[in-house]
Amino acid sequence: MPRIQFVGVAQWKGSNLPVECISWYDAQEFCNRLSQQTGRDYRLPTEAEWEYACRAGTTRPYHFGEAISPELANFNRNRNRTTPLGSFQVANNFGLYDMHGNVGEWCADHWHKNYEGAPSDGQAWLGSDNNNRRTIRGGSWYNQPNFCRCADRSDDDRDFAYDVIGLRVVCVVPRTL
């Protein structure tokens, strides 16, 4: 992915490390600028898309099994910082790396404390504009194991930027019938 230039946005510590310290607004802006630069449609995943991508056809707590360990992911302050992408060589069945730990990832959805009333089609669940909270998935290098499970959900203020939050982008591919 090409590096998009931002002034005062996020921390990009190297081409092989995740972007961190990025607010939800900054993550949205990154996707918009990447779309403009490449001519393709990039965006944040919906919460449903994120979990589907993380599970990759499994039903276990982690895509690689029932338990997480420092050999499989960066979590629980076992390295005290982010690690290079793909460090653990444990891709899920969809070929995705680092779905558990390293950095929590913003989703497009507004935060809702449960799934009651959620869209059934996988679309982003948006609410009123006065809902300042946004969904974060995946856990981080700082989090305990239970916060890194496929099903775990957290949230924070859309303006919040911290070294445990990053992003994963989705490239929208037009469907052909």
Instruction: Give domain status of residue 17, yes or no.
Output: no
CATH number at residue 58: 3.90.1580.10
Instruction: Give domain status of residue 137, yes or no.
Output: yes
Q: Helix (H, G, I), strand (E, B), or coil: what is residue 171?
A: strand
Instruction: Give domain status of residue 159, yes or no.
Output: yes
In whole angstroms, what is the distance from residue 9 CA to residue 176 CA?
A: 36
Write the pLDDT tens digit of every residue in 34-73: 999 999 999 999 999 999 999 999 999 999 999 999 999 9
Instruction: Give domain status of residue 12, yes or no.
Output: no
Residue 9: the pLDDT is 46
Instruction: Give domain status of residue 98, yes or no.
Output: yes
Domain that holds residue 80: 24-113+133-172
Within 10 Å of residue 51's Cβ, how many Cβ atoms? 19
Q: Return all residues near 166 (Cβ < 8 A) that are at least 6 apart.
A: 18, 19, 20, 22, 82, 102, 103, 104, 105, 106
Do residues 49 and 41 make contact, with C-beta atoms less than 8 angstroms apart? no
Average pLDDT of the chain, as a whole number? 91
What total number of domains does the chain contain?
1
Residue 127: the pLDDT is 82
Average pLDDT over residues 117-143: 91
Residue 2: the pLDDT is 42
Instruction: Give domain status of residue 8, yes or no.
Output: no
Instruction: Give domain status of residue 148, yes or no.
Output: yes
Average pLDDT over residues 12-16: 72
Residue 128: the pLDDT is 67
Instruction: Give domain status of residue 11, yes or no.
Output: no
| 170-176, long-range: CB < 8 A, 24+ apart | 170/42, 170/43, 170/44, 170/45, 170/49, 171/40, 171/41, 171/42, 172/40, 172/41, 172/42, 172/43
